[in-house]
Structure 1
């Protein structure tokens, strides 16, 4: 059978086999056919390379999974109308369509190297300035070499005729080369950097002398030919600092490159005119940036505050402080922004817009920034965050992949990409991103923790528990014991009741704050609601996480049918958030509106919903918050059909567990049992990892049981009711849903 296979059934199976979509009898039959059919055997080998590529690219995996998901939905909707033969035939047609869709994807969005027009190896007018060597201080403990490099980059970046590689991009390239084994002081490092940066010119420099006067030397070379264009030696006067010398050097370089005399914007400001003339301030500033890039945020804040002791006018110091821990600092950054370069001014304005939740302005500024500076990885990273706000999760993931293309060692991009793929319900893409993250951080535990979150989000609790245990074996206090807390709650919600005893033993070794952090959760997940409230009150007196405690108390009062108490706790939470973050309008707003409606304050709830909708529309946020608010109001009114209609409009690829849970209830009471079950399943999987979710991950099992019972899935219903009643076997008496679950379980048995 060397010619084309004439068996239509096996032809249809071919692509499904390559994409690992065959199982059971179909898989066995096709593999037997391969032993007999030379044509199909050759096709399998030919397609194997493409198949491997699909398996190992996260973006392709995501598209594959989404198309397959749509295929499953269509298949399940059609299955009742098909004959048994038609059903089987449909599966193979769907597989062929899926394979065709993947080929279309590869044609329309191939790897850049195959589709992007070939650019010149060296970009026109692009200059890379290497880190200056500090000859008197080879380890550059004073950071004078690094200061000179950054000042010169800032000075020359103001030119409209010269593309200067940013200090961040230079740092990223050097870091990547170091990861690949190259030393910063290799003789060939200049060539390696030039290849990565695609620069036309490269400048090497050195601090030859620092006392009593500074002497700077530089050499400007053409990268393609290696020819030296010019050399400079700038000798300062005794007492003259680095800033004036850098201005002199910058002007000499501009002359050497024969750039137009009117160098750039009419408003170009030289380094010596920018203020910030303290070498010590710059030393601490650069040290802070270095610590920020390493995610040593506490150390970075200390460095930035130290820099301000020497110079209180450094705008970018205030920028980083606003970015890390105190948004109020953005006002000072704006006040002194006239003393920074064009790019830095963009970042200050963008952060200001983000702090004000003005998505429209932030988006416009970011797109302007990447238009002028296309290698700014942080611009793409922030664009991903904006698209996430709009619920454009696929576009968000695309920007994150662009970020990684510029800096394949940028860890936060991988972290955000992982959770984007989780939101898109793509297990394989999320796991692939986690593997890439682990490859660049083999000695760190956060990749393991992220992998645990992936497994948990997809209901693979055993694998999640294994990953979390691996984290704790290396670092028991990781992330302020949050991994230990996740592990304990996950074990408890998985029916492993020994977690209670083992966690109590661990808790005894904590300090008082850590002990009270976890104990309330254990009581809450046991259904001991009054004890949980008391423990949350005790924890609030000892710990800083008061907001989380009050949120959980609000949810417990909901369980106890005390809506006014729920509302009081949540109002307190929102007031505190508003005091610290006056521009924040989304945090727990849907839950607040729901509790207003539960307390029969429908006019107030509707008014809040309208304000929320207007706020989101003005800032280009997703409208799911508005529709979710209206759905929660109608749910409280017991208008289940209208609630379900609103929740249909609130559907989103991003994880919003408040909407998942409330929509699950609305669909259940509106007799849309399959839709209810799908959402409540996600709540049972994901809520244990959200510390403010109250008893919802437990109670979701009760409502899920009811959905399965109404669908006629008795065994699934019995499992959920049994799970729920076992978990709350020692719960407070007379909890209505618990009594009902026990009664329903008896009937099913």
Structure 2
């Protein structure tokens, strides 16, 4: 056998190299490896967020060991978290290994005990074998020892007892663990010890699968008989448990060495030091028990774990009650995986992953904080600045921002601390004229803190050695720069930042301010609960949130979807995903993401928890009063939180309380004069009040502080549209698209071209919109606009095909609201072109769809059905039938839900006015139509632009005058409709060719032939490529020809 170190040949039965004493390949961590393998195949790379073996959605990698790689996954068939261990291909290289695994999994599955992690099954995906196990959320015993150096004796004994209980069940079934070690013992969130990895256990009855002379185990915890390659039995597990107990009580293992061989030799030959010499608090009884477990001769050890458990029980009773059990605790890390880590690489005292927070309070009267509601002036003020990346790797630069954000979130949970948000720190940078600074160093941090009146600052850095990340934080008095507290934490991999480091550092910082353990516990929960266990997911979340705030919804969605793929329970990522999908018009996607937000929102605490409650009250409970009350509570607790002032301003604005809204917007802008959201919204408020000069001033200010962003120019485009300055409006929308080609502006340019009756331009821009928009929901809206313009052009057949595309996309999304909007549009197009035979089928299709999918209440749908069939009756001349449908609608109006009332009141009044007009009761018809609720166009709703134009009913008053024989008034009304009104309004319907056609007929009736010809020509210019057989178009053509031939 060739030595892997010096490459010299050795006899096949040697355990060590004859030349250099290197252990030969039969000696492995955790599992036997076939000595005849000739090729080591790497473990296949499995990306988080993907699905393995058709059912396991990968959440994160938990760690790597000698046996393989372990992942936390969701078993999608049962919707439960499990652990998935991918076996190294070289381990399963021959039949004997596969046979052994299959046999051992069968044995391990027999063990069912609260202190044993369940093994589920051993299977194969393509050429890769894997084991599915119970997922235990908690921290490994090894991790606990590393953090505390040594456990309290009561805790150590209690854990040992629980391990005994789990081993007792396994040994009863004839299963020996053979690799018991702290890494393989998890302490779950209820304080229970759980033994992991019975995957290399073997039955006492199933000998012969592995040969003699093969060592299995981990050197630090290996029994003498395992070192010699002899058969292991239950007493071998007792030896390993003795070492674990030794380590828990003293903080170190009894035997160490530079090589695995030197450690194993000590197991075989050296007597362990009495643990009392390391920890004098260990009683003689416990010391003797440990040393008996570690006897070289297994005949002199405890012969079974029941005997050991009994003695541990006697010893435990002598400890104080408070030390007699493991306290329940939230998990600090999901699983501790053993890695090779050279602490000599961490020569700096600051082994850092994080620079924490700044805490301040005049005089630092930390210990005097009383329980109950804490006045703001008595709270400790805290700020966190950027962390220093000492890893030497630029790929970890994102942690300079991510770690402070996480620490802020963690510390905000305490009602005794007033934490300066990361956003507020950057607001202060803007006030210093340093908004381009990305990394806040200590000098700048102190300057910001002095300006804001913060009394303490936390500095920090992070470093990496192999797979180990380490962090150090220092909390300093801002005024004196006196060191108030220093703390450090470390863990395996960058994921340990979320698994344990943030929580540990937050607690240490709180202790530094004199908070009692009770107060710390009362106001702390794991950062991973409020955020995520995946740093990669958190990084994607931050990037997605930043893009959302720029209104770059497609870019934002890509980052956020990646975040929730990596962590399906990342609550705030689900919330922002819902916001983005809503902005992209994906209602079904919005609902799905919002449902997930609701499912996990209880994980949020502190400020984010309050925001979650407010969001839920508004969107799910439809409780505006509760929403407002929670916002007021947030404002009181976090008076320098600009976001809450902004949200309150929006609330006031939506409730027409404009003075209050202006006050709150200005409060947000006092905190951050360059708060783009507030500047933009305040400009809109002035725009709606027709104070265009002030609105434009604020929009320009918004653009100046957001160079390169598209939204300020899109906002100005909307303002110019309201002002009636269409060329300026088009120019600004175009500027927005030059900055961000997929920004939501192209449909607005298309509408302006249509308003100018340049339908070729409109079609060109709507095609561009369809080609660039980033979601199928928006493409569906694009096809609705295209179908709408084709309808105006008289291309009825093509219009319906295009609308079918819109419907197809909506159905593919499962968006019932969007489908319903398309069905509405289709029936009104049939109505407008007099296709009553298709209109009837279209009404039925829409109403059947609404009923089947429970869209709106049953009463509203009953009314809506009567309304549509009433309109159809009038179209076909059945006034009496239309009146009966109107009579059926009336009693239902009072029973509608509040959000349904306006819509159906408008429909009822429309049908009523049309019935009165048909009966010749013109004045009554006009009176009813005037009080009909209207739905003006708004850029906040694409659909409102189509709804305002289809059906074309803007000429109702003109038709009423015509019915009364007041032709001149009817002409005047049409002339007003067909003339561009530059007065301020966002409600600008198109100059419909039907209106021009009807005006031309009135001119003709009055003998104003030149004007009639002009209007016919304008209408027919739009209809120049209209479908054959459209009666209105053909009538216009005949009338124009007759006039021209006079």
Decide whether aligned partners of structure 1 residues 137 and 517 sit closer, same or farther in structure 2, where only a CA change above 3 A counts: farther
When structure 1 is superposed on structure 2, of 360-369 and 231-240 the one drifting more is 231-240
Q: Does 1:735 pair with 2:1032?
A: yes
State which of 735, 753, 761 in structure 2 corresponds to 1:491: 753
The 1:562–1:156 alpha-carbon spacing in structure 2 relative to 1, beyond 3 Å, is: same
The verdict on how the C-alpha distance between 1:520 and 1:293 changes in structure 2, with shifts beyond 3 A counting, is: closer
Query: Structure 1 residues 583 and 300, CA, compared in 2 at 3 Å: closer, same or farther?
Result: farther
Q: Structure 1 pair 547/665, CA: closer, same or farther in 2 (3 Å)?
A: same
- Alignment match of 1:452 (pick from 717, 722, 746): 717
- The Cα shift of 1:232 comes to 0.4
Find out whether 1:348 has 2:621 as its counterpart: no
Assess, with a 3 A threshold, how the Cα gap between structure 1 residues 212 and 491 changes in structure 2: closer, same or farther: closer
3-state secondary structure, aligned to 1:336: helix
Indicate whether 1:234 and 2:488 are aligned: yes
SS of residue in 1 equivalent to 2:415: coil
Residues 1:490 and 1:651: Cα distance change in structure 2 (over 3 Å): closer
Higher mean C-alpha deviation, range 538-547 or range 365-374: 538-547
Match of 1:368 in 2: 633
1:199-252: CA deviation from partner (whole Å, max 9, x where unpaired): 3433222225565654433333444x3533513032447789334333333233
SS in structure 2 of the partner of residue 203 of structure 1: strand
What is the 5 A alignment of 1:256-335?
A: 256-259=512-515, 263=519, 266=522, 268-271=524-527, 276-325=532-581, 326=589, 327-335=591-599
* Aligned equivalent of 2:832: 559
Counterparts of 1:563 and 1:419, CA distance in 2: 43
Other-structure match for 2:701: 436
Q: Quickly say closer, same or farther: Cα 1:542–1:465, change in 2 above 3 A.
A: same
Pairing partner for 1:165 from 420, 442, 452: 420
Q: Which residue number in structure 1 is paired with residue 886 of structure 2?
A: 602
Instruction: Looking at secondary structure, tell me which structure has more helix per residue.
Output: 1
Aligned 8 A contact 1:124 1:200 in 2: no
Compared CA separation, residues 644 and 274, structure 1 to 2 (3 A): same
User: Corresponding residue for 1:525?
Assistant: 792
Task: Report the aligned-residue RMSD.
Answer: 5.8
CA gap 1:729/1:274 in 2 versus in 1, 3 angstroms: closer
Measured in 2, the distance between the counterparts of 1:404 and 1:674 equals 51
Taking a change above 3 Å as real, the CA distance of residues 142 and 449 of structure 1, as seen in their structure-2 partners, is closer
Going from structure 1 to structure 2, the CA distance change for 1:442 and 1:307 (only over 3 Å counts) comes to closer
Paired residue secondary structure (1:321): helix
Shift of 1:160: 1.7
Deviations 1:26-60 (CA, angstroms, capped at 9, x unpaired): xxxxxxxxxxxxxxxxxxxxxxxxxxxxxxxxxxx
**Does the C-alpha gap of structure 1 residues 346 and 738 become closer, same or farther in structure 2, counting only changes over 3 Å?**
farther
* Aligned equivalent of 2:601: 337
2:503 equivalent among 237, 241, 247: 247
Instruction: Give the match's secondary structure for 2:702.
Output: helix
Q: 1:500 to 1:227 in 2, by over 3 A?
A: closer
After superposition, the Cα gap between the structure-2 partners of 1:176 and 1:457, relative to the gap in structure 1 and judged at 3 Å, is same
Aligned residue in 1 for 2:253: none
- Deviation of 1:636 after TM superposition, in Å, equals 3.6
* Offset of residue 491 of structure 1: 2.8
**Contact 2:531–2:538 under 8 Å retained in 1:** no
Deviations 1:154-190 (A, max 9, x none): 2221222221123444455557768644452455421
Give the Cα–Cα distance (whole angstroms) in 1 for the partners of residues 866 and 986 of structure 2: 24
Give distance in 1, aligned partners of 2:979 and 2:735.
Answer: 25
* Worse-superposed segment, 450-459 or 648-657: 648-657
Structure 1: stretches of 5+ with no match in the other structure: 1-120, 617-622
Matches within 5 A, 1:667-682: none
**C-alpha contact 2:936 2:987 (8 A) present in aligned 1:** no
Using the size of structure 1 for normalisation, the TM-score is: 0.63
Separation in 1 of the partners of 2:646 and 2:766?
41
Q: Which residue of 2 aligns with 1:202?
A: 457
For 1:519 and 1:438, the matched residues in 2 are separated by 31
Structure 2 residue matching 1:479: 3-state secondary structure: coil
Task: Give the strand-richer structure, 1 or 2.
Answer: 2
Listed one character per residue, the Cα deviations across residues 658-689 of structure 1 (whole Å, up to 9, x for unaligned) are 68999965666777999989996999889999
Q: Out of 614, 617, 621, which is 2:898 matched to?
A: 614
Corresponding residue SS for 1:160: coil
CA, structure 1 residues 580+591, in 2 after alignment: closer, same or farther (shift >3 Å)? closer
Q: Check conservation: 2:442, 2:459, Cα contact below 8 A.
A: no
Q: What does residue range 710-721 of structure 1 map to in structure 2 within 5 Å?
A: none
What secondary structure is seen at the aligned counterpart in 1 of 2:396?
Answer: coil
Alignment partner of 2:610: what SS? helix
Q: Distance in 2 between matches of 1:172 and 1:593?
A: 57
Contact 2:471 / 2:489 at 8 angstroms: preserved in 1? Answer: yes
Cα distance between partner residues in 2 of 1:286 and 1:643: 56
Q: Equivalents in 1 of 2:595, 2:740: separation in Å? A: 39
Offset of residue 382 of structure 1: 4.3
How many residues matched?
611
Give the conservation status (yes or no) of the 8 Å contact 2:716–2:732: yes
The runs of 5 or more residues in structure 2 that have no matched partner are 1-375, 582-588, 774-778, 813-817, 873-881, 918-922, 939-943, 962-968
* Structure 2 Cα separation of the partners of residues 609 and 708 of structure 1: 41
Residues in 1 aligned to 2:379 and 2:998: alpha-carbon distance in whole angstroms: 64
Q: Distance in 2 between matches of 1:653 and 1:499?
A: 24
- Confirm or deny: 8 A CA contact 1:161 1:264 kept in the other structure: no
Residues in 1 aligned to 2:670 and 2:705: alpha-carbon distance in whole angstroms: 14
Residues 582 and 556 of structure 1, relative CA distance in 2, 3 Å threshold = closer
Structure of higher CA gyration radius: 2
Q: Which position in structure 1 is the counterpart of 2:386?
A: 131
